[in-house]
Chain A
């Protein structure tokens, strides 16, 4: 059962433009959401997170939006840079510290 879904396997964006990565979830009991970035041959690296009591969290070029009624999460990267090219995973946490990850979106930022 895929409780966290990333329906876009890939995304290409021009350098300097906005990248928007989307994530949908099915379990309303998730209380914490995270985005990770992964380069080949490395483990995922934490990027940004948001608790279920908030609807927005910002950190530099990265902003995460949470729409609980739609069970939808998005990551905005502005402006996009070539070094942002990687696979991005969204993840969600249940009480009891079980984490569920999406299948990932491969972002390519074109110089």
Chain B
């Protein structure tokens, strides 16, 4: 397995357009997380899935943000009506739920979004 992959790696869009990012987790991992990282900051948790169920989405930044993981494998993050403030690196991570709860997240390389 080659790890967590994200596509595209870079996206430039105009303000007001919709964008969608894809994350393919490590195949046996049942948890999948989305983060946003802006310059000089650490990753900021957005949402996570256990299999296909989205268990936490209260920290999605606004109702313009949505995520899906329809078959419990890959996930997509969509941003509608993009704004310049959405420009950031969007990171995906996956992990395997363990009985003790002390999971390790493996991150993808990220998708860098620039909104003009």
Contact = CB atoms under 8 A, between A and B. Distances in A.
Contacts of A103: 40-42
A28 interface: no
Given A96-B56, A103-B40, A46 B45 contact: no
B31 interface: yes
Contacts of B101: 31-32
A99 B56 CA distance: 11
Interface string A10-33: 000000000000000000000110
A100 interface: yes
B113 interface: no
B48 A97 contact: yes
Contacts of B106: 46
17 contacts: A4-B42, A32-B101, A34-B104, A34-B105, A36-B107, A43-B91, A46-B104, A51-B102, A91-B43, A97-B33, A97-B55, A97-B56, A98-B48, A98-B56, A99-B33, A103-B40, A104-B42
Interface of A: 4, 6, 31-32, 34, 36, 41-46, 49, 51, 89, 91, 96-104
